């Protein structure tokens, strides 16, 4: 396949995925489609106990370490409003975060790596991960053993704000930890005109919302980044009755595991003490999501060189308080998560979200070159170590 054919092939793959998006953990047809592309390319698909997601391995010509490349494959419950000729054919479901782009880019990288299998000193693991949007996908992949034997992992996310040919690379934290909380405030309902006979959970909740906002400004160092957002208040049925219960929901974000624990502690302190002042009770349910995405310095340096060689323009991206379950992989092995310029009209999760498809083949080449560079880096390190310790070669 010549380059222009590869570009056309990748665009056709991406458009197919775009027309038939599937929600998290329901990526059945997507899974079959990816398997078929890999098998047609001659790449071995690994066994899995997961119902969706595809895991594959390309064995290099010579033995060496294994590097993983990861794409997420799920779509969102959003009604598409792009007006594109290849818009979603599934009502209320859309690839509005560009995971169709990630999937197609990784299929392209797999094709390039297979074609250059002779150059490979080591192996490539391909991870087409389900359920990124609802969280939990990465943990399932790890529990399924798909990361075993892997030395390092690379993932990318499209970035609508960056032009095509520009890539955002940064060592250290780039995306935040994500925790969700639900606070049930229990008081005692009463007639609106006889408040002295009740314990008003609406007033207690209102004080809580205000007090929770003091965590970032008063408890956390101004040099750290953190967010506490209360995003939902549910309670009451009408205008003249004080309800017995109110529910608050929200999320907390930060880049630092210690701060993450501190915020959780502060939420508990504020909720418990506020509700006590109103003689009520509160139950806090805490749903921890992914930790922060923290990029490994050495891995970033290696793929920075690969990006430069490929002629990509590299920029230092601003970290985002959004989260990514790629972080779970980075708790196991060194990894790098990078932002790939796609020159979109709208931000992620917008119904009119688009991608400039000329970026697609660049993303495939970037993953391909990065994987080669990482393998080479590991090989050099291993050679040095072997020389020093008189150890045998990779087996
Ligand atoms: Ni996404």
pLDDT tens for 68-110 read 999 999 999 999 999 999 999 999 999 999 999 999 999 999 9
Instruction: Write down the pLDDT at residue 384.
Output: 83
CA of 370 to the centre of ligand 1 (A): 21
Q: Mean pLDDT for the chain? A: 96
3-state secondary structure 257-296: HHHHHHHHHHHHHHHHHHHHHCCCEEEEEEEECCCCEEEC
Q: Would you tell me which CATH number, out of the four given (3.40.190.10, 3.40.50.970, 3.30.1960.10, 3.40.630.10), belongs to the domain 3-175+292-389?
A: 3.40.630.10
Instruction: Write down the pLDDT at residue 1.
Output: 76
Instruction: Write down the pLDDT at residue 12.
Output: 98
CA of 99 to the centre of ligand 1 (A): 6
Q: At what angle do helices 360-389 and 3-19 cross, to 10 degrees?
A: 110
User: What are the sequence ranges of the domains in the chain?
Assistant: 3-175+292-389, 177-288
CA dist 245 → 103, 171, 234, 237, 260 (Å): 45, 46, 9, 11, 28
CA of 307 to the centre of ligand 1 (A): 22
CA of 290 to the centre of ligand 1 (A): 14
Q: Any residues with CB less than 8 A from the CB of 267 and at least 6 apart, and which?
A: 181, 212, 215, 228, 252, 284
Q: Which of 95, 215, 203 is nearest to 158 (CA)?
A: 95
CA of 349 to the centre of ligand 1 (A): 8
The helix or strand, by DSSP H or E, that contains position 11, with its residue range, turns out to be: helix 3-19
- Residues of the chain with pLDDT > 70, as a percent, come to 99
What single DSSP character describes residue 320?
A: B
CA of 383 to the centre of ligand 1 (A): 38
Q: The pTM is what?
A: 0.92
CATH code of 177-288, in short, is: 3.30.70.360
């Amino acid at each position: 396949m010549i380059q222009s054919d590869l570009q056309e092939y990748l665009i056709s793959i991406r458009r197919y995925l775009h027309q038939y998006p599937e929600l998290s953990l329901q990526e059945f047809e997507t899974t079959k489609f990816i398997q078929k592309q890999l098998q047609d390319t001659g790449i071995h698909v690994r066994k899995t106990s997961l119902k969706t997601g595809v895991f594959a391995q390309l064995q290099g010509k010579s033995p060496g370490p294994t590097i993983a490349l990861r794409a997420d494959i799920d779509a969102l419950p959003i009604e598409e409003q792009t007006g594109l000729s290849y818009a979603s054919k599934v009502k209320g479901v859309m690839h509005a975060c560009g995971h169709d782009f990630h999937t197609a880019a990784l299929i392209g990288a797999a094709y390039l790596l297979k074609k250059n299998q002779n150059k490979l000193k080591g192996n490539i693991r391909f991870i087409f991960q389900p359920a990124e949007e609802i969280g939990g996908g990465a943990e399932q992949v790890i529990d399924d053993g798909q990361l075993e034997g892997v030395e390092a992992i690379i993932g990318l996310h499209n970035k609508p704000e960056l032009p095509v040919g520009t890539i955002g690379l940064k060592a250290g934290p780039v995306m935040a930890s994500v925790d969700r909380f639900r606070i049930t405030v229990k008081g005692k309902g009463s007639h609106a005109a006889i408040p002295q006979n009740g314990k008003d959970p609406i007033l207690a909740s209102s004080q809580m919302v205000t007090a929770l906002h003091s965590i970032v400004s008063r408890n956390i160092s101004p040099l750290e980044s953190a967010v506490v957002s209360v995003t939902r208040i549910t309670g009451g049925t009408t205008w003249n009755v004080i309800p017995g219960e109110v529910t608050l929901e929200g999320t907390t974000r930060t880049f630092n595991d210690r701060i993450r624990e501190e915020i959780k502690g502060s939420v508990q302190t504020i909720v418990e003490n506020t509700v006590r002042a109103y003689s009520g009770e509160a139950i806090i349910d805490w749903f921890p999501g992914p930790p922060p995405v923290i990029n490994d310095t050495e891995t970033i340096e290696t793929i920075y060189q690969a990006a430069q060689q490929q002629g990509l323009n590299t920029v230092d991206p601003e970290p985002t308080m959004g989260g990514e379950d790629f972080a779970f992989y980075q708790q196991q092995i060194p990894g790098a998560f990078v932002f790939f310029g796609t020159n979109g009209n709208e931000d992620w999760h917008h119904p009119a979200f688009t991608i400039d498809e000329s970026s697609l083949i660049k993303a495939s080449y970037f993953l391909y070159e990065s994987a080669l560079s990482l393998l080479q880096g590991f090989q050099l390190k291993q050679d040095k170590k072997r020389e020093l310790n008189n150890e045998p070669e990779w087996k």
